[in-house]
A and B are shown apart, each in its own frame.
Chain A
């Protein structure tokens, strides 16, 4: 009994919400004609109930919408904010919204169960670990193309096309991206005090290896400081390579290769791990990095150099607190690039929604009305925060509503400025998004169904070695043969063959070959 209970708590964490639906076919699908041929039901069935809103104005019947989204922490004043939220929403589109926040740790399990049971609800946040693409393949979402054209045309044009592409599956759009920084840029976040002390010439750092002398100086001069935090973020783009997105970060193409030949575990990638082994042996990486809680050391300000891939404008202020209050500088080693849009944070509409038009209207509202957006992101002005004339907000001390997850709700470019952000942070970000170098094969979407078994086993194997390799604790050259053998056993070849096949098709379709 005890074991089963603990086993259950385990399953909670397992994203694959275990066993599934009973008589779901009978109960909730009836109205939405989703059960017949397996494709998510088009909104064709729904307008019958809300034909009055076809013109988008005048007589709108009152409806209730349900919206699931994740939060770090449940907020004490949730109800207050919901009431204020609904006041505005009711006025504008005659709808009341039932906000259903779910803690991050539970979101995947809970939403998968809700969807597997074909429960009625309207909007849900999709993104990491609840990727819209996967949900589409399982039949949980409805396509938004028509809804967008009818109810949110300006929203459509506001976002760059490649973002819509990132949310397109089999030709239809399945989510609305919450716009935010979409470019990536690799680089180092270095504690200012050390950079100054050892006169780091930031202009000379162009590659990962270039930081090595600096690390050595730290090691010699600062016995209590850990020079390097470890290589947790894979490099998926530099001057010579592009990573192929949507897979496991180990497929690459050469930037200048017109044949777009797919490379698997190229030497350059393996070299990075070799470098980590070297740095580990040299003592630049903490000897327990693979098993210790590095956050603790970072919070004490004991980490000198961190390698990161999101060096967005304003990151220095954000990361300062994490580094024990020490100032940091950013040393990028790549330009801004983007893989297209990898569906990191979006809102999608469920197949089981009874009012998809109204749901779309709500989403349009959230993304275009700063008052509404900031209400749900930051709370009630005056009560949960104070706003200055030039748009900066300061949260109230002990504020009872401070979710701090703007990117969950909608377009973050609409949010009020926070302390430490430059005044033009959103203009800068938008510019980055628009001008970032675009991955030529960024539109590739992989259908993992034929190889789920192999992927599952490969993930399990990587899980065993990842920490050891990215921190250099395991000597790469010694470990690789045995590790690779295990990968082969787990189905590496079959997986690669399937990826190759789908990639070739993609290249043909995209006209790249």
Chain B
């Protein structure tokens, strides 16, 4: 029995290792290119092992470090605040609709879910944010518009509905009010769910650039991902509209070159690797229901 166990475990590890490598491969390529000398890129194209190692792409990026530092600051602030608030409200809303004994369960679920299907679109949202809420050039414009995602609420609802009703009923029997139950009992029980969604929400905030593109003009409030996407979009624009570019003498040498683009991607995405383990600590199994039985 023991031997069989470790062989199959061994296979599992092998399988996952191979899978992980295959999945990481393109990412490795990005990193490799970011460390390659531009000239050798032109000569040999993308290579997994740079024929000419060079830090010039990073030097270019870190040449104006204040831009990068500020962008990191903005992104971190927005991510932390956004994730905390979003997680809380998402959990609250999801919990309420996960309770089968809640009378307005179905209609609230529908109310929330409907907004996932239908959207007024860009311009009414823009008007709302800039003219009614006066959030143009404010960090709140980066936090609020994506605060509550119907997808997250529904998934969280799925997780929370696993919590047996008896737990709640017994707490009620002891005279606890709903919000106390929520904060004292539900949240601790739902730690894996919170951690999972917290992670996803954090990523969403970290990667957010579209709202920044629309609402932020102040260069001091530009988040990290916008720096990258802005550059890539502009390069894409110039390449697709080459007649225009030609007429006006725009050409790609004005832009960060290939290795610099990859460097930006690494700088923008890299820190997420740090965040991941932080959340993974909470992916603990069985803490939830098991502890109740006693």
Chain A residues packing against B (C-beta within 8 Å): 1, 4-5, 8-9, 11-13, 17-24, 27-28, 72-74, 76, 78-79, 100, 103-106, 109-110, 113-114, 116-117, 119, 128-129, 180, 232-233, 293, 295-296, 299-300, 308-310, 318, 321-322, 324, 344-345, 398, 400, 404-405, 407
- Contact residue among A11, A105, A113, A300 (Cβ-Cβ distance under 8 Å from B234): A105
Q: A9-B229, A76-B66, A309-B243 are in contact. List 13 more A-B contacts (CB 8 A).
A: A1-B151, A1-B204, A9-B210, A19-B120, A23-B127, A129-B244, A232-B243, A233-B246, A308-B246, A309-B246, A344-B244, A398-B63, A405-B248
Assembly CA distance A12 to B230 (angstroms): 10
Interface, chain B (partner A; CB < 8 A): 42-43, 45, 63-64, 66-67, 116, 119-124, 126-128, 130-131, 149, 151-152, 204, 207, 210, 213-214, 217, 219, 222, 229-239, 241-244, 246-256
A residues within 8 A CB of B64?
A: 76, 400
| A233–B230 touching, CB < 8 Å | no
Contact assessment for B246 and A310 in the assembled complex, using a CB-CB cutoff below 8 Å: yes
User: Whole-angstrom distance from the CB of B128 to the nearest CB of chain A?
Assistant: 7
Cβ-defined contact, B127 with A117, below 8 A: yes
| Contact partners of B255 in chain A: CB under 8 A | 72-73
- Which of A17, A300, A318 is within 8 Å of B43, CB to CB? A300
The residue in B66, B222, B229, B248 that gathers the most chain A C-beta atoms within 10 A of its C-beta is B248
Q: Is the CB of A113 within 8 A of B214?
A: yes
Partner of B238 from the list A76, A104, A398 (CB cut-off 8 Å) is A104
Across-interface contacts of B254 in A (CB, < 8 A)? 72-73, 404
A79 to B220, CA, bound (A): 10
Residues of B within 8 A of A28 (CB): 131
Q: Answer whether A22 and B230 are a contact pair too, CB < 8 Å, given A72-B250, A76-B67.
A: no
| CB-based contact A113/B210 at 8 Å | no
| Of the residues A232, A308, A322, contact of B253 by C-beta under 8 Å | A322
Q: List 17 A-B contacts (CB under 8 A).
A: A1-B152, A1-B204, A4-B116, A13-B237, A17-B122, A21-B127, A22-B123, A76-B66, A103-B230, A104-B234, A114-B126, A117-B130, A119-B131, A129-B244, A233-B246, A309-B243, A405-B250
Q: Which residues of chain B have C-beta atoms less than 8 A from A13's C-beta?
A: 233, 236-237
Residue of A nearest to B204 (CB): A5
Residue on A nearest B249 in the bound complex, by CB:
A318
Q: Which of B213, B250, B253 contacts A110 (CB 8 A)?
A: B213
Chain A residue nearest to B248 (CB atoms) is A407
Nearest to A301 among chain B residues (CB) is B42
Contacts of B232 in A (CB 8 A): 105
The answer on a CB contact under 8 Å between B126 and A113 is yes
Q: A18–B124 Cα gap in the complex (Å)?
A: 10
Do A1 and B123 touch across chains, with their CB atoms under 8 A apart?
no
Given contacts A20-B121, A21-B123, A113-B214, contact A106 B230 (CB under 8 A): yes
Q: Which residues of the other chain, B, contact A345 by a CB distance below 8 angstroms?
A: 248
CB-defined contacts of B242 to chain A, threshold 8 Å: 232
Find chain B residues with CB under 8 A from A322 CB. 251, 253
The residue that A128 contacts in the complex, of B122, B217, B244, with Cβ under 8 A, is B244
In the complex, chain B residues whose CB is within 8 Å of the CB of A105: 230, 232-237
A27 engages B131 (CB within 8 Å): yes
**A233-B213 contact given A5-B204, A72-B254, A113-B126, CB 8 Å threshold:** no
Residues of chain B within 8 A of A22, CB atoms compared: 120, 123-124, 127-128
Q: Does A8 contact B124, Cβ atoms closer than 8 Å?
A: no
> Which residues from chain B contact A110 at a C-beta distance below 8 Å?
213-214
Task: Give chain B nearest CB distance to A71 CB in angstroms.
Answer: 9
Cα A1 to Cα B204 with chains together (Å) = 10
User: What residues of B have a CB within 8 angstroms of the CB of A295 in the complex?
Assistant: 239, 252
Bound CA–CA A282/B129 (angstroms): 58
Is B236 a contact partner of A74 (Cβ separation < 8 A)?
Answer: no
Q: Give B136's nearest chain A residue, CB to CB.
A: A119
B121: shortest Cβ distance to chain A, in Å?
Answer: 2
Closest residue of B by beta carbon distance from A319: B251
* Nearest CB on A from B9, distance (A): 32
Q: When chains A and B are docked, how far (Å) is the Cα of A282 from the Cα of B115?
A: 57
Q: Are B213 and A12 in contact (CB under 8 A)?
A: yes
Greatest chain B CB density within 10 A among A22, A73, A400 is at: A22
The 6 closest A-B pairs by CB, nearest first: A19-B121, A105-B233, A1-B151, A20-B123, A105-B234, A104-B234
A24 is contacted by which of B127, B204, B229, B237 (Cβ under 8 Å)? B127
Least Cβ–Cβ distance between B237 and chain A, in angstroms:
4
Give A486 to B219 CA distance when docked, in angstroms.
47
User: Which B-chain residue is minimally distant from A108 (CB atoms)?
Assistant: B237
Contacts of B233 in A (CB 8 A): 12-13, 103-106
Contact A344 B248 (CB under 8 A): yes
A130 CB to nearest chain B CB (Å): 11
CA gap between A78 and B66 in the complex, in Å = 13
Closest to B59 in A: A398
In the complex the two chains form, is A20's CB within 8 Å of B213's CB? no
Contacts of B119 in A (CB 8 A): 19
A398 to B34, CA, bound (A): 20
**Cα-based distance from A1 to B124 in the complex (angstroms):** 20
C-alpha spacing A105/B227, complex, angstroms: 12
- CB of B183 to closest CB in A, whole Å: 26
Q: Given the complex of chains A and B, what is the CA–CA distance between A129 and B122 in angstroms?
A: 19
B123 touching A19, Cβ below 8 Å: yes
State in angstroms the CA–CA spacing of A9 and B235 once bound together. 15
